[in-house]
């Protein structure tokens, strides 16, 4: 029953926009690059395979003076092309590296979006950060925006040594966006309210007081339930998608970054000792991923069902130079067409995106949509 509810919720709760970017291969550097995105040369593009058999796109914005890396999970109705300028601004103003990624079914990533797929997506990105970019767990800050708070907190409960968590306009759960329910229900998705108490690092919560998509009560409750509370930022007059235009937004983020950077060695040692009793929360990623599959492998994967659970074995990368790129046979002069990336979403995705809600449950789950999706209070009023 739980699997059925998750499938229904996924089809009604996710609203991937039309891809805002193209992906092409630089003939000189043999690296992937974003097309149609300003300052795209600042991003290092990778393709990652998840344990659920999908290929997802990620982009890494490097800051030479950084000691911390943000792993950013964006909100609904967005992709890394739309978010790229924000990634660059975060990197420049906070002096951090930023790794952003598209969920399955978003941007040029293949597959269909679902709660479980987003969990597999963020695990693949985390694995890439550790193995390819050699970023230590204790130097990572997880950043979840709105629905991105779901995969962020899921991963945070499994990583006892991460440096911090940032929750921007976060949700308590999918259904709680619509209803004030007392207990978590089986048909709910992203039950952040039940996970936040198990996060063992400093948590910064940022929320707008005038958020008409996800009420500020969500942010306040998440902050209240946090084990290690950091001073929250309640942006007066802030809505769901405009918090970055307020001057206190970056100022407060910078204070948080400096604070977690200065955590004493003693504090870190204590956290490590305490985490020993919570070994069950250690991330278990047994499936290999590859940050540089060939175009031939990607095209082959597109013919396999995206719901297939068995993953095609792929040899781990041995490149030690931290320069993620697609490997290509030098003997092959004519590059394969990049049409795969432009056609990764199936026709059924297009039809599902446009269909109307079929019942009250559908209306409830649509309320998780962000930015360009109104909270469905009007829908309920009409039904009453």
Dist. CA 32–CA 240, nearest whole Å:
32
Provide the token pair at 36. 């149609």
The number of beta carbons lying within 10 Å of the beta carbon of residue 35 is 11
Dist. CA 75–CA 214, nearest whole Å:
12
- Is residue 146 flagged as an active site residue? yes
DSSP assignment, residue 39? T
Dist. CA 121–CA 106, nearest whole Å:
11
Which of 73, 146, 169, 200 is catalytic? The answer is: 146
Cα torsion 88, 94, 99, 102: sign: negative
Contact by Cβ (8 Å): 183, 221: no
Contact by Cβ (8 Å): 69, 128: no
Dist. CA 68–CA 11, nearest whole Å:
35
Which of 188, 240, 301, 367 is catalytic? The answer is: 240
Residues for the chain: how many in total? 384
Which of 102, 121, 188, 211 is catalytic? The answer is: 211
- 94 φ/ψ sector (left φ>0, alpha ψ -120 to 50, else beta): alpha
DSSP assignment, residue 227? S
- Is residue 252 flagged as an active site residue? no
Dist. CA 138–CA 175, nearest whole Å:
33
**Residues belonging to the active site:** 146, 211, 240
């Amino acid at each position: 029953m739980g699997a059925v509810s998750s499938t229904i919720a996924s089809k009604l709760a996710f609203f991937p926009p039309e891809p805002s970017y193209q992906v092409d291969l630089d003939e000189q550097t043999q690296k992937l690059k974003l097309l149609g995105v300003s300052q795209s040369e600042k991003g290092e593009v990778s393709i990652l395979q998840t344990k659920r058999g999908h290929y997802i796109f990620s982009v890494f914005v490097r800051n030479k003076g950084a000691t911390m890396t943000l792993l950013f999970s964006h909100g609904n109705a967005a992709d890394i092309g739309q978010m790229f300028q924000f990634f660059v601004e975060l990197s420049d103003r906070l002096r951090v590296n930023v790794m952003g990624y598209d969920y399955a079914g978003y941007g040029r990533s293949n597959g269909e979006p679902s709660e479980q797929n987003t969990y597999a997506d963020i695990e693949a990105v985390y694995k890439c950060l550790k193995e390819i970019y050699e970023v230590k767990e204790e130097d990572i800050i997880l950043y979840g925006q709105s629905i991105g708070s779901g995969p962020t907190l899921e991963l945070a409960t499994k990583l006892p040594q991460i440096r911090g968590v940032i929750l921007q306009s976060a949700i308590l759960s999918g259904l709680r966006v619509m209803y004030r329910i007392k207990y978590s229900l089986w048909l709910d998705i992203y039950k952040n309210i039940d996970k936040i108490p198990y996060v063992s690092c400093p948590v910064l919560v940022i929320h707008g007081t005038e958020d008409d998509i996800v009420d500020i009560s969500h942010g306040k409750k998440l902050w209240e339930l946090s084990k290690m509370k950091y001073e929250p930022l309640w942006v007066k007059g802030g809505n769901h998608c405009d918090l970055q235009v307020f001057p206190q937004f970056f100022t407060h983020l910078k204070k948080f970054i400096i604070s977690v950077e200065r955590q004493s060695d003693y504090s870190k040692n204590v956290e490590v000792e305490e985490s020993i009793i919570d070994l069950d929360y250690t991330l278990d990623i047994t499936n290999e991923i590859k940050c540089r599959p060939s175009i031939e492998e990607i095209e082959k994967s597109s013919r396999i069902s995206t719901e297939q659970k068995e993953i095609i074995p792929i040899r781990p990368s041995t490149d030690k130079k931290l320069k993620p790129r697609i490997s290509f046979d030098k003997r092959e002069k004519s590059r394969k067409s990049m049409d795969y990336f432009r056609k990764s979403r199936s026709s059924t995705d297009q039809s599902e995106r446009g269909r109307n809600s079929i019942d009250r449950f559908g209306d409830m789950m649509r309320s998780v949509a962000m930015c360009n999706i109104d909270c469905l209070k009007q829908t309920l009023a009409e039904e009453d």
